Structure 1
Amino acid sequence: MSGINRPLIYNAFAHVTPNHHSDGLWRHALGQHQTNFHKLQPWIDLAQTAERGCFDVVFLADVAGIYETSPGAWQQAVRTGMQFPSHDPAVLVSALAAATKNIGFAVTSSVIQEHPFSFARKISTLDHLTDGRVAWNIVTSYLDNAARNYGLKSLPQHDDRYVWAEEYIDVVYKLWEASWEDEVLVRDPVRGIYVDPERLHAINHRGARYQVDGPHIVQTSPQRTPVLFQAGASEAGRQFAARHAEVTFLPSQTPESAKADIADLRRRTAAFGRYANDIRAIVMLSPVIGSTEAEARARHREIQEAFSLDALAAFWSGGIGVDLTKIDPETPCKTCAKRTAPVAMCAPLSTRRQMAQSPLQMSFAKPSQLALPARQSRSPTRLSVGLQPVSLASMSCR
């Protein structure tokens, strides 16, 4: 296999909502997965299909609020179904695990939306029910509405959210790794001892935001700490990923930028005393698939016809903190108002019209160019895949 010296990560990126990043696609005749997103069977079908294709992970994105064009103005997002409704992805995981054998499941959860004690308990329980196939996508939120939903007056400043995340992950690390010793579970009916109290420990965390005694109340799970995903693109986000993440999403737009981003990530990871290759990287690919190029182009046209500019305007407005519905489409956008996840996507764009058109700038390749390496079924273990960036041409099977 030319150009690839390690396996790729195959990560099915989804969101329990009518619209993820395919704005308006719920209106497409074949969009029943979007319109039936609240039902279980479409998600079982997705997980089983991904497993048959030897994907590594079904990754479930999430938001904890609504995209607003201005504070309190969420009507446009609601009207267009822009990541609304948005159901809890964690609830799906145990059902999907029961319907599959090997594929992993990554759950997105923000540090602002749940206390670390209850979150650690939930993830440990899911780790048991999935036989060690759960992962956590660590996010700090970027929607002001999400912050207000959880009792905050407004979203904390960007870097302050990563300070919050550092304490949050410190608490869950202590619960997952330090509370239960390996031999704590006795289950001796003769002596009447289920758990050895001498091997179970309180964590007695005392921090700026959290006071947690412990001990962890879920018995040691297969992984203890789940596989950790993270997608920070800012300086603080990259530092957080280098310190904690095992898999990170890169905002790279080209193979060249991916190579530079990966080199930067490895450098930062090594600076924290980790092996540079301890962290893996994922970039996004959104293919339009057809049996022939003509069929793929026809499907692309159908996607364009279903596309909603109003939905996308709501998405960008909520993400960057600027009401794009009130800006002329040709106005140059020199600076984003907030440092958030969508900022990385708008870096090469200069006007609102270009932002709107960017999801539709899809290139086409012949099937031989898009052939991915043959996969073998993966056992339910931690991801052991590579960071090497590749081009489509180098991905062809030999």
Structure 2
Amino acid sequence: MSVRYNKLWKILVDKKLNKTQFRDTVDISNQTLSKLSKNQFVSLEVLDRICDVLKCNIGDIVEHISEKGVETKKAELRVVSLFSGIGGFESGIDSSNISAKVVFASEIEKFATLSYQSNYPDHMLVGDITKIHETDIPDHDILVGGFPCQAFSIAGKRNGFKDTRGTLFFEVAKILKEKTPRIVLLENVENLINHDKSNTIRTILLTLSELGYTVDFTILNSSEMGVPQNRSRTFILGIKNFPSEPYKEDFRSQKISSLKKELNLDDNFNGFNFFNDLKSNNEDKYIKDILENSVDSKYYFDSKKVQNYIDSLEIPKINSEKKIIKVFDFPKEVHNDQERQRRVHSIEGISPTILARSDTTKILVEVDGKLKVRKLTPIENMRIQGFDEAFIDNIKNIGMSDTQMYKQSGNAVSPPVISEIFNLINDSILHKKRR
């Protein structure tokens, strides 16, 4: 996907403005003017400024065109990514077996956008999605996003689409209504299923069905897909105009099974069974498999009080198991912190859910024959989400701080989960259609 600004130059001719006058009026640099002249991507802020001056919409000056005759690995399905973070969905799609290309992405957080651009410099990445009119989004086949969990204002009757106004999910729904992509995949926190007495997820599902999507949803744990972390998240998949069928019991969650039984009674709701066919890849991966060989001393808890306490313990041999293995909790008088932050885990197990902060998982390691406690490094935090080395290196190489890398990894979706979902979409939906 590329851009063309022929319509912009026509407007300038109609307004009797040459390019120099246009540059000065809009207050853009020579470099930006050159990009426009060469039909290269410019920021949404520049396009907004141009439209403010010329009194037009972005669609009046920009054309998105397909690159015919150019062979690329990812050129078949067009993807729009919302609330993109550092690109977890993109990374997962890249490693899946579908052929796809991101044509538009949106992320509002400054440092996350820098990390995103370190890996995807050619993607059209814009800021606040609430400032973008849905008609200005490029046409696409797939929409993905991990939107924030927000309650809806529901007064009495269930109004679907209307109930979502004022939330970030409404931005998703507006785009789906306008652009009608065939596939939508959304991710949210595990507690979405319980949020506001399940009214939040119920409204999301009803809205998607109202917009013509047949929907399935579940709670997936990243550990199912070979990620050495206990990380449960809600996933919602919608397929446009897909055959509907009664929900079967969800083997992962009794709460979801109960909601599915309720939705089966709604004649106007369209559901189908997808996630029950998504099987664990059975890869045994543990914390020990993602550790760096050499770790700076700043990540260790090496005060004399802490080390004396560790030395006083008798630690039994621990065998590898695909579960969280707690070795011990520091007493508060030894390490004064909240209970979760005083917990030390074995590297023979998997990590608890990493959060968007620096006080990440603490582990017991052996250094020169001596047991010590340290936290995961920012690179290990990225690895424990399933990001590959090249992806992590690109972020590290732009000088991203430890604090931001901890935050970004904790906010991210696990790419291997996305990859496995799209592998199944390809095999059971896209490939099935072609046969």
Larger strand fraction of residues: 2
Structure ID, larger Rg: 2
Structure scoring higher RCO (CA < 8 A, sep ≥ 6) equals 1
What TM-score does the superposition give when structure 1 sets the normalisation length? 0.33
